[in-house]
Structure 1
Amino acid sequence: MFHENFESSEFLSLIPAVFKAEMHFPACVEDYTGLNSHFQLIFRLSIVVIVVIEIVQLVIVLLIIGRLVLAPLALWTFLAHKFWTIWSSNDAVEKFLQAQQSLSPIRYAYTDIMAITRHFKEQLGRGGFGSVYKGELPGSHFVAVKLLSGNSKCHGDDFISEVSTIGRIHHLNVVRLVGFCSEGSKAALVYEYMPNKSLDKYIFSSNRYFSWQKLNTIALGVARGIDYLHRGCDMTILHFDIKPQNILLDQSFVPKVSDFGLAKLYPKEYNVVSASAARGTIGYIAPELVSRNFGIISHKSDVYSFGMLLIEMASGRRNVDTNADSSSQNYYPSLIYDKLGYKAEEEIKFESFEMNEVEKKLYLVGLWCIQIRPSDRPSMNQVVQIEGDTDHLELPPKPFFSWSSSISRTLHSDNTATTQLSVIDEDDSS
């Protein structure tokens, strides 16, 4: 290699000498051109020969430069391009795999659940289906781990099937399922952590926490989340347990529908849902979930629960007061209806206050949603489309309130407890 480079450099050093000799040759010939025509011909031929020689030399120089400079440069350029292409391809695949991993819930071992929660050190709450603990994933990502109780039916293949479907739900107003655990009798759900906890912590406080505009924004967010469950997924997801405790708030107080322990998935073409295992929370449960005489079970059952939620958000008090003496005092929506219709009886005493426009809208929409017959209720899509102008929002027919108040006095032992009701199946002939 060294010898080859030396010969190349030696050859290059001869080029200037040859060039000078070629340039002196026509000058010498030119001195004799005036003697005869024979020398003039030689002069012209010499010019042609010199031009050819110069062209050949230029080609040789370019070939040498191409070999010593351009070839390595082209090689390095090709290798750099090849490396960049491979790296970009791998990076795109890695990003895709990470995105897929973030879209799908992770299946954790029970030992992982124990590590995430630090052996269930910090309890966030307790419900009818288990306890919720605060956990931390690598990277300081906080999660809420719901450990299902032993008597929960959310186990086996049905549990995995529902988790895989709900785990792919990605909507601003639906809490994200990060992962799950199912090992024998042990089952857990890992959700994104909501630092501001649930809506009931704020709407039932003695001092109103949210402005009317913020309350309206929260209500609209909840409606969008439920509407997405009904229409935005491959299958219709019926929540069956819409209530303030199941509306979580993130760091910016954006509402997210949570707790799918009672949720059922049905193909969109199904208009009638089996009521053989319908459940809900007293005070929010739709009448058709109690008896088929009120109508069929459908997405309108969630609409009813949402209507009850709206009225509680507007009033700042629970709809059902088990300590009240009379049914009229026991069931607050009936008082609200009378106030909106200006048909209050003399014996009913209202607190004197002016009704805000947003408050009035929440009440009106809520009363439309809690109509006894499901066919009289709007869909969640219609609720979302209702604008802020309440002048064109009419007062709905007065719902039949007595069934709710009587059921609540009989069965409502705890406002926040979830109660399973025995429901008449649609297939029964009775």
Structure 2
Amino acid sequence: MHKIIKRPTDVDAFNKLGPWVLICGRRKTGKTFFVREFLDWDEYFFVKRGGRSLLDGEGRELSYPTFLEVFRRDFPEKCFAIDEFQRLPDDFSDLLHSMGMRGRLIAVTSALSFSKKMLEGSSPLLGLFSVLKLGLVDERDILLGLSRELKGRELIEASVYLREPWLVPRFRGRMKEFLPSFLYEQRGAIKALLGEIFTEEERELSLVYQGILEAVAMGKRVSTEISSHLYSLGLLPKDNPGAIQRYLEVLVETNLLEKTPVYGSKKFRYQHASPLLDLHFYLEGKYSYTETEIPEQFIGEVVQQKLPVHVEEFFSSLLSKLLGLRRVAVEEPPLDIALFEFKRLKVVGEVKWGKVEKEELQRIGERLRKFDAERYLIVPEDGIELEGVKVLDVPAILEILKSGYPKEV
């Protein structure tokens, strides 16, 4: 797909920050493209590994001393964008500290740990930068970006996975056919990407991290379930949820996992931030697909199995942003969508992505009407009515988006 997906939500967030901004996020989230295509700057530089040389916006290489000369000469009159900022020698941070916050400066890093170090009391950059975490493309932006080429069910299914920016230029045809082929051909590259993410964070992708990511992909969503799974594999000396808390915190901080509070308890539910990586770790955990020959057709069956869950999570996140509410997980009865305002459950909803029989529709209505909250049912096509429940199909959701992201649906 030769298409540029614009990111107005992230641009708007950037424009609200101070004159010096650090953009951080894991690899393959489109940080370099975001800066080069959507932001205004005068000079762009990419820092090569080792930090002793850089490439300018035209791809010309220059030494670090030459870059310093250019920077001292043109800053702060010109806005500088510096990609892989964390690779620069420490003396550059001292230089910025001595100059004070003048002019405009955009720094980009794939090391989320670097942004944390900048907030430490010993850092010369403490208090100088605002931080923008760039994750996957916002659900609102991807839907509007693809809505001219795709419609209905195809639009939603493509949007779920093309939030991963590196999939966009490779995408062809229908998502259900493209995704198994992509996973089959790129399974080694995806595995290497995870290694790079942990290398940037100066950590090792240990068997415990791997086990947690696989456990979550296989449906172990709370720390007690994850701990029991790791213990059964011999990765923990005893079944102790407390022993994995620091691992879970790192995975959330690096935007590999997301956590959602469980309504009425102190627990959290964990899910993969990326549906693509959720598929990867499911296939790896159950079938070791990067090391054994798994037919592409079999991968396609896994995609079909996982797709409804990924669509549910997509709509849950989308609706929370449209309404300005916080996501929570409701365990009894289980709900696809539950949104919280202050101390009250404000919105409940279900997503049905396949054919819905009359009896199932009645059960959905009964389940949703148990809650004193706004009730929604999201379906691919129009034609369904349910007493006491607002039914949204894909065209209805697009109309809401095009009207300017209102706070009420």
TM-score (norm 1): 0.25
Q: Which has the higher strand share?
A: 2
TM-score (norm 2): 0.26
